[in-house]
Chain A
Amino acid sequence: EAGVAQSPRYKIIEKRQSVAFWCNPISGHATLYWYQQILGQGPKLLIQFQNNGVVDDSQLPKDRFSAERLKGVDSTLKIQPAKLEDSAVYLCASSAGGGGYEQYFGPGTRLTVT
């Protein structure tokens, strides 16, 4: 089966610009996660969707980050305006359910903010 797809793979923007990332989860997976991975650290959860509803967005900087999952399939994560400290890899993961199910990650989008 096809894995989690993400695009773009790389993005370079200047601070205060906006950027959007796209994720297509594994077919049939109800739960979708967005993680931020800063260089040299483990992934940190930004937001979790169950179908098209938000389950957890407690660590999402809502003044600049937003995410949506229309129709419970694809998802987009947006940053507006970007800051230098947003430079990181943004990973999307999906699982068949919520708790108790394995999470599978996409290749990530490497964002550089200059």
Chain B
Amino acid sequence: GENVEQHPSTLSVQEGDSAVIKCTYSDSASNYFPWYKQELGKGPQLIIDIRSNVGEKKDQRIAVTLNKTAKHFSLHITETQPEDSAVYFCAASQGDNQGGKLIFGQGTELSVKP
């Protein structure tokens, strides 16, 4: 079945720096890759997603890149702020996403120091 590996498990940056989180997946048929932010005591919040017909997508300070050949995708956060501190999860669709099932990575705890 699909397997998603996420690195690093923890990341500490200074406010204003950039943060990059990387994920690899195993199922070459996967075609949908969302990223979620989870704050303490809350459910995961969808922050950006990308589909396999696109190589990069941006939304203000957040961008996601996808390399289908290498089967990896990354989350880039620029100009980090303390409120970006949270756990971030990547996910990949199982197969071509006909059923909507997502496989999640293990999470990255991001700490932004003021």
Binding site for B on A (CB under 8 A): 4, 31, 33, 40-45, 48, 55-56, 91, 93, 95, 97-108
Name the CB-closest residue of B to A98. B100
Q: Is the pair B43, A97 in contact by a Cβ cutoff of 8 Å?
A: no
Chain B residues with CB under 8 A of A42: 4, 6, 89, 91, 104-107
Binding site for A on B (CB under 8 A): 4, 6, 32, 34, 36, 41-46, 49, 89, 91, 93, 96-102, 104-107
Q: Is the pair B99, A41 in contact by a Cβ cutoff of 8 Å?
A: no
Q: Decide yes or no: A95 and B100 within 8 Å by CB, A4-B43, A42-B107, A105-B45 being known contacts.
A: yes
Q: Is the pair B99, A98 in contact by a Cβ cutoff of 8 Å?
A: yes
Q: Is the pair B43, A106 in contact by a Cβ cutoff of 8 Å?
A: yes
Q: Is the pair B101, A105 in contact by a Cβ cutoff of 8 Å?
A: no
Q: How far is the CB of B30 from chain A (nearest CB, A)?
A: 11
Chain A residues with CB under 8 A of B104: 42-44
In the bound assembly, the distance between CA atoms of A100 and B50 in angstroms comes to 11
Q: Is the pair B97, A99 in contact by a Cβ cutoff of 8 Å?
A: yes
Q: Is the pair B34, A102 in contact by a Cβ cutoff of 8 Å?
A: yes
Chain B residues with CB under 8 A of A99: 32, 93, 96-100
Q: Is the pair B101, A45 in contact by a Cβ cutoff of 8 Å?
A: yes
Q: Is the pair A43, B44 in contact by a Cβ cutoff of 8 Å?
A: yes
In the bound assembly, the distance between CA atoms of A31 and B98 in angstroms comes to 12
A41, A91, A98, A103: the one within 8 Å of B98 (CB): A98
In the bound assembly, the distance between CA atoms of A21 and B34 in angstroms comes to 26
